[in-house]
Structure 1
Amino acid sequence: MDSLTQIVLGAAVGEAVLGKKVGNKVMLYGAIAGTIPDLDVYIGKFFDTVTALEIHRGFTHSVFFAIVFGWIFGWLISLYEKNASTKEWAKLMFWGFLTHPILDAHTTWGTQLFWPLDIRLAFKNIFVIDPLYTIPFLVFLLMTMFQPKESKKRRKYNNLGLIVSSSYMVITIIIKGVTYAKFTHALKEQGIAYKEIETKPTPFNTILWSANVETDNAYLIGYYSFFDTKPIEFYSYPKNHHLLEAYKDDITVKRLIKITKGWYTISEKNNALYLNDLRFGLLSVAPNFQQFAFSFEIVKKHDKTIINEVPRNREKAKQLLKDLWVRIQGN
């Protein structure tokens, strides 16, 4: 999830663990705990593109990290914060570190929660930024802050924030199940044979959902809004995996393909190859739009394979917001 959401969650968890004893200061430490796992983004800047992608939401988003570094940070805090024990500070940091990747596991990218095991959990039931999750949570947290630490209202407001946000998460899982049924029914009605299907919400909402559908030679992408009145349309994107023939034994390319979980297409432009990660969709919900949110240029330099992420166009990102608003209202 985005940084603000993780800060709010961390602060609320900190309050739940030690708020009654310490007061508002625990929200600061909880917010810090909710931020630290995402420092892997900055660590990744010291590595090549593929390695950075592998690092992201790996070690720092694991149960192992929460246990080991929860104690380390708890001990460090206890050296100058004497209003709680080392064990209590460690408990706060542990839950701050752990709830961060648990929340991230519900997004498309997912988390390697059980690192070092090569298992990435990605439930794909919420977009990385969702105002309906964050804003009510933030309001309850602010209401909590202005109550005395011994106040019953303080704990009530904080608990409500945790309950409302968690309930919304459960609702998104139910909605995902409903939309999955809608997509599979549409595929059956249209007589489309497919190998695999995955669904996810489009940016900033849980009303409009998209589906990636694998067929023999192409991937289909479709959209469904709860306000739709017409049948779901699917748009075809050729796999073009054969274009990677020259890289079939290249370790770097294999690692990138592994990151995509096999959901990728290959496109060719100006004698350069591009690997498009389907999991994060397109930069528009317009029919047959061609530019993917995550695309990687593959080039050979001095017998070495170089992979560069294609920068996203801000203007097209703005257009995506406009397109989303129109498409959410129904087809």
Structure 2
Amino acid sequence: MDSLTQIILGAAVGEVVLGKKVGNKAMLYGAIAGTIPDLDIFSSYFTDTVTALQIHRGFTHSIVFSALFAPIFGWLVSRYERYKDFKGWAWLFFWAFVTHPILDAHTTWGTQLFWPLHERLAFKTIFVIDPLYTVPFLVFLIMAMFQQRTSKKRRLYNKTGLILSSAYLLLTFFLKWMAFIKFEAALKDQQIAYKQIDTRPAPLNTILWSANVETDTAYLLGYYSFFDTESIKFETYEKNHELLGDLANDEKVQQMINISKGWYIITEKDGKLLYNDLRFGVLSMEEGSQDFVFQYEIKQDSQGKVQFVEQEKRPRDAKKLMSDLWTRIKGK
């Protein structure tokens, strides 16, 4: 999830663990702890794109990391804070650390919660930014913040925020199931034979859902809004995996294919060979759009070493997507 949401969750968890004893400091340290796992993004400054993608939401988003580093941070804080209970601070950091990847596991990217196992846990039930999850949670956290640390209202407000946000997460599983049933029925009605289907919410909401459908030679992308009255239409994208040629056997290419779980297409544009990660869709809902959210140019240096270079996004692309989303959410 986005940094603000993780800060809110960390603060709320910190309040549960030590709020009654240290007041708003529990929220402060919980908020700090809630951001620490995402420091793995700095790996992109020290390594190549593919390796950085592998590292992201890996070790720092695992139970192992939480168990190892919570006591260290707990000890450090207990050394200079007036409240000296090492165990209390360690538990605060542990729960703030571990709830971070658990929340991230609901997104499309997922987390290596059980690192060193390579499998990522990804429920794909919520977008990385979802105001319906974050805003009510933030409101109740702020309300709790302005209460006395021993106040029953403080605990009530914080608990209410946690319950509402958690209930919404549970609801997203039901919404995902409902959307999946619709996509499955549409494929059956249109007599489309497919290998697998992958569903996820569109950006910023859980009303509009998207699906990637794999066939023998192509991928189909479709959208469904709970306000739709028309049948689902699928856009066809040829796999074009053969365009990789001998590059298909390159180690970096294989790593990228593994990262995207095989959901990718290859395209050529302006002399560039592009790797498109299908899991996150396109930046436009216009028919036949080739502007994928995560698009990488595959380059080779003079020694034949393969590099992936992420293509930059333009601000107007995001504005266009927001406009398209709002229109599409209202249904067809």
Are 1:208 and 2:208 matched, yes or no? Answer: yes
Aligned residue in 1 for 2:308: 307
After superposition, give the CA deviation of every residue in 1:41-92 in whole Å (9 maximum; x if it has no partner): 0123211110110110001000000000001000000001131411110000
Across the aligned residues of Structure 1 and Structure 2, the Cα RMSD in angstroms comes to 0.8
Aligned residue in 2 for 1:68: 68
Give the AA of the match of 1:152. K
SS in 1 for 2:280: strand
Aligned length: 331
SS in 2 for 1:110: coil
Aligned residue in 2 for 1:174: 174
Give the AA of the match of 2:74. G
After superposition, give the CA deviation of every residue in 1:131-158 in whole Å (9 maximum; x if it has no partner): 0000000000000001101101110000
SS in 2 for 1:160: helix
After superposition, give the CA deviation of every residue in 1:87-144 in whole Å (9 maximum; x if it has no partner): 1100000000000000000000000101111110110000000000000000000000
Aligned residue in 2 for 1:326: 327
Q: 1 CA distance for matches of 2:84 and 2:17? A: 11
Unaligned runs of 5+ in 1: none
SS in 1 for 2:275: strand
SS in 1 for 2:266: strand
- Residue 271 of structure 1 and its aligned partner are, at CA, apart by 2.7
Aligned residue in 2 for 1:148: 148
After superposition, give the CA deviation of every residue in 1:274-328 in whole Å (9 maximum; x if it has no partner): 1100000100122222110001100111111121011112111110000001011
Q: 2 CA distance for matches of 1:147 and 1:286? A: 49
SS in 2 for 1:10: helix
Structure 1's consecutive aligned runs of 4 or more residues displaced over 6 angstroms after TM superposition are none
Q: 2 CA distance for matches of 1:40 and 1:196? A: 32
Q: 1 CA distance for matches of 2:45 and 2:102? A: 24
Give the AA of the match of 1:208. L
SS in 2 for 1:28: helix
Aligned residue in 2 for 1:283: 283
Aligned residue in 2 for 1:27: 27
Aligned residue in 2 for 1:239: 239
Give the AA of the match of 2:19. G
Q: 2 CA distance for matches of 1:131 and 1:277? A: 25
For the 8 Å contact 1:44–1:55, the answer to whether it is kept is no
SS in 2 for 1:79: helix
TM-score (norm 1): 0.99
Aligned residue in 2 for 1:230: 230
Give the AA of the match of 1:308. V
Aligned residue in 2 for 1:197: 197
Aligned residue in 2 for 1:124: 124
SS in 2 for 1:267: strand
After superposition, give the CA deviation of every residue in 1:12-66 in whole Å (9 maximum; x if it has no partner): 0000000011101110000000000000001232111101101100010000000
Identity in percent:
63
Q: 2 CA distance for matches of 1:270 and 1:204? A: 32
Aligned residue in 1 for 2:3: 3
For the 8 Å contact 1:44–1:56, the answer to whether it is kept is no
TM-score (norm 2): 0.99
Q: Which moved more, 1:81-90 or 1:257-266?
A: 81-90
Aligned residue in 2 for 1:101: 101
Give the AA of the match of 2:318. A
Give the AA of the match of 2:165. S
Unaligned runs of 5+ in 2: none
Q: 2 CA distance for matches of 1:128 and 1:200? A: 11
Q: 1 CA distance for matches of 2:52 and 2:39? A: 12
